[in-house]
A and B are shown apart, each in its own frame.
Chain A
Amino acid sequence: MAASSKKWLWGLLAAAFLVPLLRPVLPDIVSDYRLFLVSTMMIAAIAVLGLNLLTGFNGQISLGHGAFYAVGAYTAAVLMDQANWPYWATIPAAAIVCFIVGYLFGLPALKLEGHYLALATFALALAVPQILKYKWLEGLTGGVQGIVLNKPEVPFGLPMSEDQWLYYYVLIVMVLLYWGAANMLNSRSGRAMKAIRDYAIAADTMGIDTALYKTVTFGISAAYTGIAGALSASAIAFVAPDSFNIFLSIKFLIGLVVGGIGSLAGSVVGGIFYVLVDNSAQALSTFAKNDLGLQFDLSAYTVFGILLIVLMYLMPMGIVGGVYYLVQSMRSSMRGPQAQQQAATQKQHATR
């Protein structure tokens, strides 16, 4: 099982690195626009990954990760615009700034549990766009006008288009971050994080410094989402307060729940899902109106909502959880009744 999933992972990675090279051969299928779209999916995946570290693995709910995304994006944009930093150097800077902001926000958040924390982060998400418009910051942030940036240029004279390069740039960052997160979760600290999620008092008794772990997790989670924000500033080449409204935070949460809470692969699936569905929802709604002859307007948001409900009903554990369960039950039905019983107990365990 473990060996085969590793093979899959390597295969997927190889495909991710090789397919864009087909652009000169198949310009219609591997087009610049599609590469750009996949880049935005990967950026979303990184942001969801950041939220997953906090919510999925540490049990703290955040409705305000759009705020950290905004801070990361603005850090990158201001550094590029005012200080002429190269775009790649803004990634660590955004990570550090967001880590500090996240850590500091995590301190008072220690006193807040569950729903209260969700509300506090919600307030943060509402406040950040307003703060970005604030008079005293206007010189830096450009106020409501935002900041117009340049797209990353292809380095070393490589024979690539801008979008191809952007794709590789984002892909490399994502792979590194994913690898980092996977290692962290497999370490002592990772187990401590999960222990706090499962039973905070027990974790405390075991000698885990829950306060430290919770705040640091908040910081790391914010840093991941901030990196995603910095990447998006490079990719979109424009930042404005309107880009970071409350819907952004909600979208991260949707991506998280749909992909699979507490699953790293689920974060990637969730990031891809929300960009994909967000884009196809409108196509679906016009399709329903024009081709199926629906009499009333079905707005894109309605389609999005219906899809979500159906998905949550069919796969309550998220896409990755659902697929995993499907594979398990298929295997056990091939093996016979004894294994089926085993799978049943496993299922019980999984749904708990």
Chain B
Amino acid sequence: MITSRRGFVSGVSAAALLSVSRSAFAQKKYDDGATDKEIKIGHFCPYSGPASAYGVIGQAHQVFWKMVNDTGGINGRKVVFVTLDDGYSPPKSVEVTRQLVEQDKVLCLFNTLGTPTNTAIHKYVNQKKVPHLFVSTGASKWGKPKEFPWTMGFQPDYHTEGVIYAKHALKNTPDAKVAVLMQNDDYGKDYFEGFKDGLGKEAGRIVKHVTYEVTDPTVDSQVIQMKDSGANVFFNISTPKFAAQSIRKAAEIGWKPVQYLNNVSASVASVMKPAGFDNGQGILTAAYLKDPTDHQWDNDDEMKMWREYMTKFMPQANQADANYIFAYAVATMMRETLKKCGDNLTRENVMRQAANFQNFRIPLLLPGINVSTSPTDFYPIQAVQLSRFKGETWELFGEVMHAESS
């Protein structure tokens, strides 16, 4: 094909014209929940019922979006944050999600909390093609862009964390005999599967595997069973109350294994202190957020900014509660995603932007841990750093570890 100069020029100008008119069109594109004035996002978490302790995350989000609006909103738009109570009950989650999507017509869902509750709406939101972003659960099933292109997780998934502990144990305790204490639900199982995968051929090193139910009063007998098995490595997959109990009990009966504690319970205020600082020396865990009780961050800019924000907007909140750190970090990620969308606030674009972070810095993540996503990688944070309990706080050591993929 021969192109005459004039033809070429006119062709180019036509293309330019076309692209201009196209971008003029593209400049303002809206789906449900977005207008010139506002962006509506939906959220649910248990404000009532047995799991209402998680309600603080929802309250923190409400305050965060208020702060965003007070400081000019996102690209000139106000964020309307609709948050509903699902009481951690899956049928109720379906109901409130339908309300958010069909009645309130939100642009996207953000940080909806709980593994069973999100499972209940997983299929629905993907059928409706509503972005279901940065869910508040670490199960590994939230990062499957092929089957569920509208759902994305946030925190390092439990499976990956389990793999990391297993590798560390194999390397540092050559004659490891492992006892595992596990909460009997899918959170516990996800960790356990990861741990077993990490051991690989050495899976036989697990000499004892005991479980407990969330409703149990104590885990004393489980700890005694683990001691009797003669294990020298203890992998503790439990939520804060049980983590504190088991650490204390192990010390009381004189069992001194190498202890790995899951990140879920790596809180100084709610686990290590009640367990007794003496009993917790040397325990290993993996972290991805800065701990608010860790004094090494006292002069950290991000931490200072967060404390200022908390003092100004949530004066009554307990700043030692790591849930507030989590809420701030994940909400920042949402704000960045919406900012990147510019004036193209379609659901498709929200999803495209969420899957387009390259080594992005989110405040309060540990140094060296950044957010990366792509159309095939729906796990925003995949790195952790091990830390060891020393004195009255966690001490980070070693390198930031990246899970290759999961």
Q: Is there a chain B Cβ closer than 8 Å to A169's Cβ? A: no
Min CB gap A152→B, angstroms: 14
Min CB gap B217→A, angstroms: 14
Min CB gap A248→B, angstroms: 8
Write out, one digit per residue, whether chain A residues 245-261 have a CB within 8 A of any chain B CB (1) or not (0). 10100000000000000
Q: Is the CB of A146 within 8 A of B119?
A: yes
Total A-B contacts with CB atoms under 8 angstroms apart: 77
Min CB gap A30→B, angstroms: 12
Q: Interface size on B (CB < 8 Å)? A: 29
A190 to B189, CA, bound (A): 50
Q: Is the CB of A236 within 8 A of B102?
A: no
Option from B85, B102, B103 in Cβ contact (under 8 Å) with A300: B85
Q: Is the CB of A242 within 8 A of B90?
A: yes
Q: Is the CB of A236 within 8 A of B103?
A: no
Option from A237, A239, A242, A282 in Cβ contact (under 8 Å) with B84: A282
Write out, one digit per residue, whether chain A residues 214-245 have a CB within 8 A of any chain B CB (1) or not (0). 00000000000000000010001111101101
Option from B49, B95, B189 in Cβ contact (under 8 Å) with A247: B49
Please, which residue of chain A has its CB at the minimum distance from the CB of B100?
A: A33
Min CB gap A183→B, angstroms: 31
> Do A232 and B95 form a contact, CB below 8 Å, given A33-B102, A300-B85?
no
> Do A37 and B120 form a contact, CB below 8 Å, given A247-B49, A282-B85?
no
Min CB gap A328→B, angstroms: 37
> Do A299 and B48 form a contact, CB below 8 Å, given A33-B98, A36-B98, A282-B85?
yes
> Do A299 and B119 form a contact, CB below 8 Å, given A242-B89, A243-B89?
no
Q: Is the CB of B88 within 8 A of A242?
A: yes
Option from A36, A143, A238 in Cβ contact (under 8 Å) with B119: A238
A40 to B95, CA, bound (A): 9
Name the residue among A36, A144, A146 with the largest chain B CB count within 10 angstroms. Answer: A144
Contact partners of B99 in chain A: CB under 8 A: 33, 279
Q: Is there a chain B Cβ closer than 8 Å to A333's Cβ? A: no
8 A Cβ contacts from B154-183 to A:
none
A37 to B184, CA, bound (A): 33
Min CB gap A210→B, angstroms: 37
Q: Is the CB of B90 within 8 A of A238?
A: yes
Write out, one digit per residue, whether chain B residues 79-93 have a CB within 8 A of any chain A CB (1) or not (0). 000001101111100
A interface bracket (residues with beta carbon within 8 Å of B): 20 to 34
Q: Is there a chain B Cβ closer than 8 Å to A145's Cβ? A: yes
Contact partners of A146 in chain B: CB under 8 A: 90, 116, 119-120
Write out, one digit per residue, whether chain B residues 82-125 have a CB within 8 A of any chain A CB (1) or not (0). 00110111110011001100110000000000001101101110
Contact partners of A85 in chain B: CB under 8 A: none
A236 to B120, CA, bound (A): 8
Please, which residue of chain B has its CB at the minimum distance from the CB of A237?
A: B123
A146 to B94, CA, bound (A): 14
Contact partners of A299 in chain B: CB under 8 A: 47-48
Q: Is the CB of A148 within 8 A of B123?
A: yes
Q: Is the CB of B98 within 8 A of A236?
A: no
Contact partners of A247 in chain B: CB under 8 A: 49, 87, 89
Q: Is there a chain B Cβ closer than 8 Å to A133's Cβ? A: yes
Min CB gap B255→A, angstroms: 26
Contact partners of B300 in chain A: CB under 8 A: none
8 A Cβ contacts from B108-161 to A:
116-117, 119-120, 122-124
Q: Is there a chain B Cβ closer than 8 Å to A31's Cβ? A: yes
Q: Is the CB of B119 within 8 A of A32?
A: no
Q: Is the CB of B85 within 8 A of A144?
A: no
Q: Is the CB of B185 within 8 A of A31?
A: no
Q: Is the CB of B123 within 8 A of A144?
A: no
Q: Is the CB of A243 within 8 A of B48?
A: no
Name the residue among A37, A146, A238, A247 with the largest chain B CB count within 10 angstroms. Answer: A238
Interface residues of B (CB under 8 A from A): 47-50, 84-85, 87-91, 94-95, 98-99, 102-103, 116-117, 119-120, 122-124, 184-186, 189, 213
Closest 9 CB pairs of A and B: A33-B102, A238-B120, A144-B185, A240-B116, A242-B116, A236-B91, A243-B90, A144-B186, A301-B48
